[in-house]
Amino acid sequence: MLALGATYGLGSVVIGLLVAALGTAGLVSMVRLALVNRRTIREGVPAEARCLEAYVVHNRSSDGYTTSQRRLILGFEAPDGRDVRAELVAQAPYAVGDIVPVRYLPECPERVVPAGASFGIGPSACLKGVAMLGLVYAGLSLTVMALGSG
């Protein structure tokens, strides 16, 4: 009986560490993306891209909520003469043929951000990420504890 309890204890620790590692990796990924976007806005090359295609993606969740994203396929010519195609999630409605001001880093012109966007990693975003990580960790830990005690 003692061995079974020790196994559940070890399992709880391993699962808890795994959840903490995944949560931390997700948080680091979010911060890295925000920093790249901020660098693109600050140091990126401005371009006037033409909207080649515009469409809406609807995401339905299991609890009945639906969210929508406007996505654009943009095309522009880089200074070296390459034709660049990029996809962008747009906040403003654009139609096919519209000019969309964007910025991009020269080493990756396919990754564009809207020229007027602001990407910041403020205290509220960090607190939300840490709170979410804590809730996920606590919920999983309680689940493992409930399974272990039953």
Neighbours of 41 (CB within 10 A): 17
Cα–Cα dist 12/141, whole Å: 7
Q: Considering its fold, how many domains does the chain have in total?
A: 1
Q: Which domain holds residue 95?
A: 2-149
Of 44-53, 85-94, 126-135, the one with minimum mean pLDDT is 126-135
19-35 mean pLDDT: 79
Residue 104's pLDDT band, with cuts at 50, 70 and 90, is very high
Question: What is the signed CA dihedral for 38, 39, 41, 46, rounded to 10 degrees?
Answer: -160
Q: Which residues pair with 38 in a beta bridge?
A: none
Cα 7 off chain centre by: 36
Is pLDDT above 80 for 15? no
Residue 4's pLDDT band, with cuts at 50, 70 and 90, is very low
